[in-house]
Amino acid sequence: MFLVRRRAPSSLRALSGGFKRCVSQQQGDEKQHSNDAKYLSTQTPIFKIFAISSAFLSLGFALGFVLADKKDSTSSTTKLKDLKPLVYASKDRVSYALSKIAKIVGDEKITVMDSELKLHSQDPSKFIQAKTGEKPYAVVYPTTIEEVSKVVKVCYDACIPVIPYSGGTSIEGHYIPTRKGISIDVSRMDKILDIHKDDLDVIVQPGVEWSYLNEELEPYGLMFGPDPAPGALIGGILGTNASGTNAVRYGAAKDNILSLKVVLADGTVIKTRQRPRKSSNGYNLTNLFVGSEGTLGIIVEATLKLHVKPQNEVITMMNFKEIGDASRAVTELFKNGISCNAVEFMDNRQMTAVVEMGTGGEHKWSSDHLLLLKLSAVDDSALNSILSRVEDVGKNNNAFNIQVAKDKEEMEDIWRVRKTLLWNSLGWAKKFKPNAMVLPTDVCVPMSRLPELITKTMEKMEKADLLATAAGHAGDGNVHVLVIFEPEQVAEAHRIINEMSTMAIELDGTVSGEHGIGVSEKRELLEKELGTDTIDLMRTIKFALDKKAIFNPDHIFKIDPSEKRHPFDDQ
Amino acid sequence: MARSKLLSLWQLSKTAAAPGAGTRRFATSIPRWNEAKTAQPGKETANGNDKGGEKNENEDKKKGGFGQSILANTAILVFGALIGTSWASFNLCKEPPEFLFPHTSTLPLASTLSPLYGDSKLVIEELKGFLKEDQVSEAKDDINNHSDSFFSTDHPTPDEHPDAVVYPETTEQVSQIMQAAHKHHVPIVPFTGGTSLEGHYITTRRGICLDMSRMNKIVALHKEDLDIVVQPGVGWEDLRDYLQPLGLIFGPDPGPGAAIGGMCGTSCSGTNAARYGTMRENVVSLTVVLADGTVVKTRRRPRKTAAGYNLTNLFVGSEGTLGVVTEATLKLNVLPKFENVAVVSFPSMSDAADAVAKVVQSGVQFNAMELLDAQMMKFVNESGSVTKNYDEKPTLMFKLGGNSIKVADSITNDIKDICNECHCGKKNFRFASSDEEKEELWTARKVALWSTIDAGREVYGEDAQVWTTDVAVPISKLVQSLVDTRKILDDEKMMSSIVSHAGDGNYHTFIVYPKKDHDRVRQVVQHMVTRALELDGTVTGEHGVGIGKREYLREELGDVGVNVMRKIKFALDPLLILNPDKVIQVDPEEKKK
């Protein structure tokens, strides 16, 4: 502030200096005639000029201040229409910044190879397409926190977008560089730093794969809760607040995290907590960054909560003719206080796909709605009492084919069917429609509303002549309907998926249970779900922490009023 | 930061543009200049002869003509320059250049300005316009009830009390109140149960206390979905009594009297936290009124979501500094059908803490595990709230249960084995024999703070003060931390008791002391806090920061962490009207008590 004051008048002072010289010449002449003239000219006019100029100066300041951000200077939300279009660094600045980054990380950790750039602009499934030109300038592979911080600082100074990248398994276009920028791939930061087996926590870098982590934890009898798609790394899991089949027991990523180290937009590194199991010390920054999809900072280290791996685990399977029955069975289980480690649902079409593809291993599958339950207890007698309760509940709700798998290999086979479901359906679809395209969805509603959602959606799909399978984490009310269609049906498919999401909102649910928002159509749906004011509040937080909007711009919500990116229109 | 600097600029420009500064000086300078000019010829004539006077006049004309043309030119130049300058300054303010106002992600205290607040009376008048008469109270009793409590660690100065207490009844009213307060820059301090311990509701800047106790309705219960929508004034005990017949339970169980609003504010927990989690795991969605009166709903009510920022958990634990909670959707759990309450006494603190660590590491699912030290057991016995006399030894209290007797029994057996391993002795593992005893035991644990205060009053009389600490450390460090703490307290000969939510490594020390010992206690507590931080712990597991622990927060997270929080605070509440001075310091010139 003081700089402003000094700087602005300095030009003025030079001006007035010139003027003073003029006047003093005049004074010099006058001096001969009057001594008083000196008093007049040196003091008063200068004083006057100073007064006038300061009046002008303050007027300028006042006007500027009043007109600048009168609208939002004291408000708690940031409206999209009050923002200006985003401007990022020019090509020259980028290449200068790149040379600086290369110096920081070394040549072997930065690449501009086309194949790498492509890999870091969209996922191979192409559910959300990157548009032409949406490629990063370069990919950087830092290995230390310091490197990440320095690279981010360079990008911040030059105003270049930064797109964090870890496993690349997201399907909502989370790492599409809509404004180009630099992709920071943390997959080389892949160390497990410290396992505290006595405290049930572990400190990891963001590039650790969750299944690798679980393998490492196996000898200690411990596990990490969330189990998203294979290949997902911790950084991305936390970024999207992912979960998986275990969420019903252990919660989503947000419930399994104790502390984070995050690099902020200006390169500052913060640690959000130490590692006690609970803390109410100040704002919950940890959970602010979890689920922020890389728009607020880059996660460079995480302390994760661990769980003792359940002993005596079995899988119970039961078939249903009606979706409603299956859902009622789940509700009844919960009401009975039976805590399941996983509650998975696969509908009859999904099961048909499994049966027809023959991917189910040795197990004999039936093509009816299927409910899979993972159950465990401290010892056999307790387990048996739980199992008999479960069977009762199933029978009450018209379940048939109730089976229990206790053998470890058998269990793995069964669970593999659930885990590889997406690829299974894809293969199945290709059998009928060789050109078939698929679109996954990810809505989540309160449990009691789930049957309504699935039934209505399926009706719509049928009407529109689209093939669809449903599978979900029934315990959380989270369902993935997989839509299979011919390329020419694409508009229709999107229309129905949007209708389904809108329905989920009306049923008090959410448009994304675990996949996140990214740059997909869900950005608009999210506004519908939460209301414009809530999105405006998120925008305030975004700009508070990242004023230049360098972190993963355009994701989750719009930050540029002029942006018209539509995920499925070509250009 | 830019915004606060702009504020300062604005203040500067306000003073500069004020009629006293530039213009008046300018105005006074004109006559003086004119006077001097007119005086000049008069002087000349008085002094010199006629000839000289003429000569002078001629020369004057000549030079004056020359001077005038220069003057005219420079005047144009100067005028142009002035316009230019004001244009430049206009732009400077409209879009502050980045090299002057860097867009950092943190906001250090040094770059903020002392907040300025308006007159509460204006707001109170405005509120009386749209609220019922009994909703705005300026009665002394009301004001005193909303300023302090005897069990709080921090107490307000005599000057720190609200100017009025307002009782809103709907979210719209809260929004209107916030709009009025925002317009007049008047601080608002939300208040629900008033059971917080860290001076959360001390009105450091006067202003208005927003008592949410009239918003105490249960809005909707969704039994099938295991969630419930409530208003912030609902007390957790009322909620418990409402849910119990339905076989449901809401996890967090803090001190008696706490209400949902405050529980969200401090992210509290209680004895059930190890099983059901703290507030942050149990709140599905919040309706919040922001500083400018905007009403936002953070979620609908899905069990899980990955859609957008986790605003719910930003407000949970923000202690009323970011917004006022007006409605909350809470997760419910199913009440265990069979539950045993076990009381186990151990020969030493380290044995008890050892048992805790082993139980947690074994993964056996207990519903609650509380640790009370020997001193605490003594106070419990003395308090008269229990009918039986318990061993005055370090004691673990368990809630063990499940959906069938078999499950409950096998869990109990596992726990028994572990306790035996830790030298509890078979005789010392006993169950509460009746439902009454279960209830009694748990109540005894719940009123631990009050029993300690009562014991303190016996010794020190009404002068007795209590200092509550709230440290949490990783489970494996619990033994060391507890033993250390006990040693420090014994060395200092402090009257104190320790209770612990052992399942999550959280424990409280209640220190009772006469007023004069305040500084000595502060030192002891500081020592304990430093030790906890060294052990990778936190200085507050469930009570929150309030005004008393801000310094500890800084010690735990470092300046950078606090600066990020400050950045968020200033973004959401630029006028700093929501519960000022809590959680983080917002005023660089704040007076130290």
CB atoms within 10 A of CB A460: 17
Does residue B34 fall inside a structural domain? no
Residue A385 in contact with partner chain B when CB distance is under 8 A: yes
Does residue B168 fall inside a structural domain? yes
CATH for A312-506, options being 3.40.462.10, 3.40.470.10, 3.30.70.20, 3.40.710.10: 3.40.462.10
Distance CA B58, CA A240 (A): 88
Residue B29 in contact with partner chain A when CB distance is under 8 A: yes
Does residue B40 fall inside a structural domain? no
Does residue B529 fall inside a structural domain? yes
Residue B12: pLDDT over 60: no
- Are A153 and A268 in contact by the 8 Å Cβ rule? The answer is no
Residues B276 and B399 in one domain: no
Residue A556 in contact with partner chain B when CB distance is under 8 A: yes
Q: What angle do CA A485, A487, A488 make, to 5 degrees?
A: 100
Order the strands of the B227-230 sheet from edge to edge: B218-222, B227-230, B324-331, B283-289, B295-297
Residue B65 in contact with partner chain A when CB distance is under 8 A: no
CA-atom Rg of chain B in angstroms: 33
Non-local (6+) Cβ contacts of B123 within 8 A are B177, B180, B181, B183, B184, B186, B208
Mean pLDDT score of chain B: 86
Residues B319 and B353 in one domain: no
pLDDT digit string (tens) for B508-549?
999 999 989 999 999 999 999 999 999 999 999 999 999 989
Show the tokens assigned to A251.
Answer: 């919660």
pLDDT digit string (tens) for B232-244?
999 999 999 999 9
pLDDT at A59: 79
Show the tokens assigned to B505.
Answer: 């490594």
- Are B263 and B286 in contact by the 8 Å Cβ rule? The answer is no
Pairs across A and B, CB distance < 8 A: 496
Q: Is this complex scored with an ipTM above 0.90?
A: no
Q: What are phi and psi of B49, to 5 degrees?
A: -85, 180
Q: The domain containing residue B297 runs over which residues?
A: 100-335+551-592
Residue carrying the six token digits 């229409």? A81
Residue range B459-484: mean pLDDT, rounded = 91
pLDDT at A143: 96
Pick from A48, A82, A281 the residue to mutate for testing the B interface (most B CBs within 10 Å): A281
Distance CA B345, CA B349 (A): 10
Residues B353 and B238 in one domain: no
pLDDT at A262: 97
Show the tokens assigned to A171.
Answer: 């399907």
Residue range B33-40: mean pLDDT, rounded = 43
* Record: contact A281-B545, CB cut-off 8 A: yes
Total domains in the fold of chain B: 2
Residues B329 and B185 in one domain: yes
Task: With cut-offs at 50, 70 and 90, classify the pLDDT of residue B1.
Answer: very low
CB atoms within 10 A of CB B367: 24
pLDDT at B100: 77
Distance CA B463, CA B442 (A): 29
Residues B159 and B289 in one domain: yes
CATH number at residue B120: 3.30.465.10
Q: Is the dihedral of CA B209, B214, B216, B220 positive or negative?
A: negative
Does residue B313 fall inside a structural domain? yes
Q: Which fold has domain A192-308?
A: 3.30.465
pLDDT at A438: 86
pLDDT digit string (tens) for B374-425?
999 999 888 887 888 888 999 999 999 888 888 888 899 999 999 999 988 8
CB atoms within 10 A of CB A380: 10
Residue carrying the six token digits 């990490």? A224
Least confident of A495-509, A546-560, B9-23, B477-491: B9-23
Residues B435 and B296 in one domain: no
Residue A477 in contact with partner chain B when CB distance is under 8 A: yes
Residue B94 in contact with partner chain A when CB distance is under 8 A: yes
Q: What are phi and psi of A535, to 5 degrees?
A: -65, -40
Distance CA B550, CA B319 (A): 12
Q: Which residue has the higher pLDDT, A19 or B437?
A: B437
Task: With cut-offs at 50, 70 and 90, classify the pLDDT of residue B11.
Answer: low
Q: Are strands B333-334 and B464-468 parallel, antiparallel or unpaired?
A: unpaired
Residue carrying the six token digits 């003086």? B32
Distance CA B157, CA B590 (A): 14
Closest by CA position to A327, among listed A155, A209, A153, A473:
A473
Non-local (6+) Cβ contacts of B30 within 8 A are A48
What type of residue is B263? M
Residues B409 and B555 in one domain: no
The three-class DSSP label of residue A175 is: coil
pLDDT at B440: 85
Residues B409 and B487 in one domain: yes
* Record: contact A279-B298, CB cut-off 8 A: no
How far are the Cα atoms of A56, A523, B338, B419 from residue A377, in angstroms, in the given order?
79, 42, 15, 20
In B, which residues are within 8 Å of A280 by CB distance?
A: 266-268, 278, 317, 540-545
Distance CA A390, CA A372 (A): 12
pLDDT at B222: 95
Residue range B150-158: mean pLDDT, rounded = 87
Residue carrying the six token digits 């964090």? A164
Residues B292 and B234 in one domain: yes
Residue range B76-98: mean pLDDT, rounded = 78
* Secondary structure E strands in A240-368: 257-263, 269-271, 298-305, 307-308, 314-320, 342-346
pLDDT at B66: 61
pLDDT at B80: 82
CATH number at residue B476: 3.40.462.10
Distance CA A413, CA B253 (A): 42
* Record: contact A276-B473, CB cut-off 8 A: yes
Show the tokens assigned to A208.
Answer: 């650790």
* Record: contact A51-B182, CB cut-off 8 A: no
Interface of A with B in 330-349 (CB under 8 A): 331, 334-339
Task: With cut-offs at 50, 70 and 90, classify the pLDDT of residue B8.
Answer: low
Helix (H) or strand (E) holding B30: helix B22-47
Interface of A with B in 433-462 (CB under 8 A): 442, 444-449
- Are B122 and B182 in contact by the 8 Å Cβ rule? The answer is no
Q: Looking at chain A, which residues constitute the CATH 3.30.465.10 domain(s)?
A: 192-308
In order along its 571 residues, chain A shows pLDDT tens digits of 333 333 334 444 444 444 444 444 444 444 445 455 445 455 567 777 777 777 877 877 777 766 665 555 788 999 999 888 999 999 999 999 999 999 999 999 999 999 999 999 987 777 888 888 899 999 999 999 999 999 999 999 999 999 999 999 888 999 999 999 999 999 999 999 999 999 999 999 999 999 999 999 999 999 999 999 889 999 999 999 999 999 999 999 999 999 999 999 999 999 999 999 999 989 999 999 999 999 999 999 999 999 999 988 999 999 999 999 999 999 999 888 888 999 999 999 999 988 888 777 777 888 899 999 999 988 888 899 899 999 999 999 999 999 999 888 888 888 888 888 878 888 888 887 888 888 889 999 998 999 999 999 999 999 998 889 999 999 999 999 999 888 888 889 999 999 999 999 999 999 999 999 999 889 999 999 999 999 999 999 999 999 999 999 999 999 999 998 887 765 4
CA quadruple A394, A395, A398, A400: dihedral, nearest 10: 80
Residue range B559-573: mean pLDDT, rounded = 95
pLDDT > 70: percent of chain B: 88
Residue in A243, A251, A311 nearest the CB of B281: A251
Considering only the C-alpha atoms of chain B, give the largest distance between any 2 of them, rounded to a whole number of Å: 129
Non-local (6+) Cβ contacts of A520 within 8 A are A127, A128, A172, A173, A567
Distance CA B72, CA B56 (A): 23
The three-class DSSP label of residue B210 is: strand
Q: Looking at chain A, which residues constitute the CATH 3.40.462.10 domain(s)?
A: 312-506
pLDDT digit string (tens) for A37-71?
445 455 567 777 777 777 877 877 777 766 665 55
* Record: contact A252-B311, CB cut-off 8 A: no
Does residue B219 fall inside a structural domain? yes
Task: With cut-offs at 50, 70 and 90, classify the pLDDT of residue B39.
Answer: very low
The three-class DSSP label of residue A242 is: coil
Q: Is the dihedral of CA A531, A536, A539, A545 positive or negative?
A: negative
Residue carrying the six token digits 């300028």? A60
Residues B513 and B562 in one domain: no
* Record: contact B22-A39, CB cut-off 8 A: no
How far are the Cα atoms of B184, B330, B545 from residue B283, in angstroms, in the given order?
33, 5, 20
pLDDT digit string (tens) for A195-234?
999 999 999 999 999 999 999 999 999 999 999 988 999 9
What is the number of helices (H) and of strands (E) in chain A? 19, 19
How far are the Cα atoms of B268, B310, B472, B480, B542 from residue A279, in angstroms, in the given order?
9, 17, 7, 19, 6
Residues B528 and B509 in one domain: yes
Distance CA A532, CA B142 (A): 38
Does residue B557 fall inside a structural domain? yes
Q: Which residue of B has its CA nearest to A332?
A: B224
Interface of B with A in 107-146 (CB under 8 A): none
Distance CA A472, CA A463 (A): 22
Residue B51: pLDDT over 60: no
Residues B220 and B191 in one domain: yes
Pick from A171, A249, A277 the residue to mutate for testing the B interface (most B CBs within 10 Å): A277
First-to-last C-alpha distance (Å) of chain A: 44
Q: A132 CA to chain B: closest CA distance, Å? A: 27
Q: What angle do CA A105, A110, A113 make, to 5 degrees?
A: 170
